[in-house]
């Protein structure tokens, strides 16, 4: 900021001279109406003014100048620096002491105020610096977390791509060696018909696994980008569940499946295929994580006037409470009780996709314990939908 002329120290002395002489002149002109006390008070005010604006030295200078003027012009005999009466000596001395003291005090107060202001500005600067540093650190931490997450996701994706690829490559090269009759110094490769079929089955199944994984990735990417296109139509809940169950039949052969749909359940305005996918995922998970011969129970009922609630319940070992939110994270694959002896077999995307579909319908999905505190019950709600709902 540019300093004004009045901010310089010498300006204080100039103002002191000008103001004291001007004031003296004015007081002299109206001299018949003012007494010595008035003059001294007016000059004191002048000293205070200079002190608060320019500090102690100009104030001291003003005090002395004012004292001289007071003596010369207003104390008899006028026009000289001599003083006739003793009481005028006292008055002059009192004036000088008061002027100097008041001037120094107000100059000191001004200095303190300036120091306080400087301190305040410094504190504000430090605070701004700290805030910026904190924001930069938070930003860096967020970036680091984001990079860490990306790296973990990349690891999960590459593992899920590489595992079936390994089986496919090993099968193909075995078949190729047999077809080429390669020996490599070893006994000739002999693959009987059954082994060949087995190799081809592995290739077939692992290709399907890759394909499922990639479809899941695409679906998940769509959901995350908010590009899930729902084709909402009026559908019957029982039909949606039946479609999912017939698709899941190969997985549920070893289980008892019980369907329990409330009578006179209203139709729902949903994307039937998407909701059927949710039910299929939940039934598939239930089959994977519960013992053979146990029961998988699917229920559907009204939940208030505007929603229906569906649930898939198994008799497996359940999911610990602290993992019940995490299982909806993509690529999270926990065994149902956190026990690593049980190998998870999914893609780690099913529940994340199911959650995306349910939430796109403005519903909710959560996990609770099954009947009697055993097993897992995955529950989700869907709004029934309005007749004029055109979404």
Partner 1 sequence: MNSPSKILVVDDEPQLTRVLRTGLKSRGYDVRVAADGLAGFEAFSDWHPDLVITDLAMPNLDGLELCRRLRAISQVPIIVLSAKGEEKTKVEALDIGADDFVTKPFGIDELLARVRASLRRANAPATSETAQTILDSGDFHVDLESREITVRSNPIHLTPKEFELLVYFIKHAGKVLTHRTLLAAIWGGNYVEQNEYLRVFVGNLRKKIEMDPATPRYILTEPWIGYRFDPGETIS
Which position among 7, 117, 147, 155 is part of the footprint of partner 1 (CB under 8 A)? 155
Piece of 304-312, 324-332, 338-346, 348-356 that binds partner 1 (CB under 8 A): 338-346
316 binds partner 1 (CB under 8 A): no
Q: How many Å separate Cα 380 from the centre of its chain?
A: 28
Which position among 170, 236, 261, 379 is part of the footprint of partner 1 (CB under 8 A)? 170
Nearer to partner 1, 219 or 284 (CB): 284
Q: Find residue 303's DSSP bridge partners.
A: 307
Piece of 96-104, 202-210, 219-227, 255-263 that binds partner 1 (CB under 8 A): 202-210
Total residues in contact with partner 1, by rule CB under 8 A: 35
User: Closest separation between CB of residue 147 and partner 1, Å?
Assistant: 15
164 binds partner 1 (CB under 8 A): yes
Which position among 52, 88, 98, 167 is part of the footprint of partner 1 (CB under 8 A)? 167
User: Closest separation between CB of residue 294 and partner 1, Å?
Assistant: 22
202 binds partner 1 (CB under 8 A): yes
With H, G, I as helix, E, B as strand and everything else as coil, classify residue 252.
helix
Radius of gyration of the chain (CA): 46
Residue 36 CA to residue 334 CA, distance in Å, equals: 98
Tell me, letter by letter, the H, E, C secondary structure of 28-87: HHCHHHCCHHHHHHHHHHHHHHHHHHHCHHHHHHHHHHHHHHHHHHHCCCCCCCCCCCHH
| CB atoms near residue 19 (< 10 Å) | 19
193 binds partner 1 (CB under 8 A): no
Q: State the pairing for strand pair 256-261/295-303.
A: parallel
173 binds partner 1 (CB under 8 A): yes
Range 31-55 burial, b when 16+ CB lie within 10 A, else e: eeeeebeebbebbbebbbbbbebbb
166 binds partner 1 (CB under 8 A): yes
Give how far Cα 251 sits from Cα of 281, 286, 320, Å.
11, 10, 24
191 binds partner 1 (CB under 8 A): yes
Nearer to partner 1, 173 or 326 (CB): 173
Residues in contact with partner 1 by CB under 8 A are 155, 158-159, 162-171, 173-174, 177-178, 182, 184-187, 189-191, 195, 198-199, 202, 205-206, 340-343
């Amino acid at each position: 900021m540019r300093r004004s002329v009045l901010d310089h120290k010498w300006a204080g002395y100039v103002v002191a001279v000008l103001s004291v002489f001007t004031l003296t002149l004015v007081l002299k002109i109206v001299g018949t109406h003012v007494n010595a006390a008035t003059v001294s008070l007016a000059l004191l005010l002048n000293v205070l003014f200079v002190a608060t604006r320019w500090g102690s030295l100009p104030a001291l200078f003003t005090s002395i100048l004012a004292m001289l003027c007071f003596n010369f012009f207003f104390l008899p005999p006028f026009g000289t620096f001599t003083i006739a009466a003793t009481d005028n000596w006292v008055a002059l001395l009192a004036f000088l002491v008061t002027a100097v003291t008041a001037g120094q005090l107000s100059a000191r107060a001004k200095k303190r105020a300036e120091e306080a202001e400087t301190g305040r500005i410094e504190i504000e600067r430090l605070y701004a610096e700290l805030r910026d540093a904190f924001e930069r650190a938070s930003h860096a931490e967020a970036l680091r977390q984001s990079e860490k997450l990306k790296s973990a996701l990349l690891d999960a994706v590459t593992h899920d791509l590489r595992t079936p690829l390994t089986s496919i490559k090993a099968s193909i090269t075995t078949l190729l060696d047999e077809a080429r009759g390669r020996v490599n110094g070893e006994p000739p490769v002999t693959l009987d018909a059954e082994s060949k079929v087995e190799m081809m089955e592995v290739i077939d199944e692992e290709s399907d696994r890759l394909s499922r994984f990639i479809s899941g990735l695409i679906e998940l990417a769509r959901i995350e980008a908010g590009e899930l296109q729902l084709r909402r139509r009026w559908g019957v809940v029982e039909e949606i569940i039946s479609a999912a169950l017939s698709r899941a039949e190969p997985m549920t052969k070893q289980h008892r499946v019980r369907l329990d749909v409330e009578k006179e359940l209203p139709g729902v305005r949903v994307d039937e295929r998407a909701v059927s996918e949710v039910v299929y995922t939940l039934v598939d998970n239930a089959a994977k994580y519960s013992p053979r011969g146990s029961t998988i129970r699917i229920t559907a009922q009204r939940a208030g006037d505007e929603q229906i609630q569906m649930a898939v319940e198994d008799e497996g070992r359940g999911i610990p409470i602290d993992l019940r939110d995490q299982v909806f994270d993509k690529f999270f694959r926990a065994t149902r009780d956190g026990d690593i002896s049980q190998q998870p077999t999914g893609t780690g995307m099913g529940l994340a996709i199911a959650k995306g579909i349910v939430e796109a319908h403005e519903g909710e999905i959560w996990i609770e314990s099954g009947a009697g505190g055993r097993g897992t019950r995955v529950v989700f709600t869907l709004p029934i939908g309005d007749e004029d709902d055109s979404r």
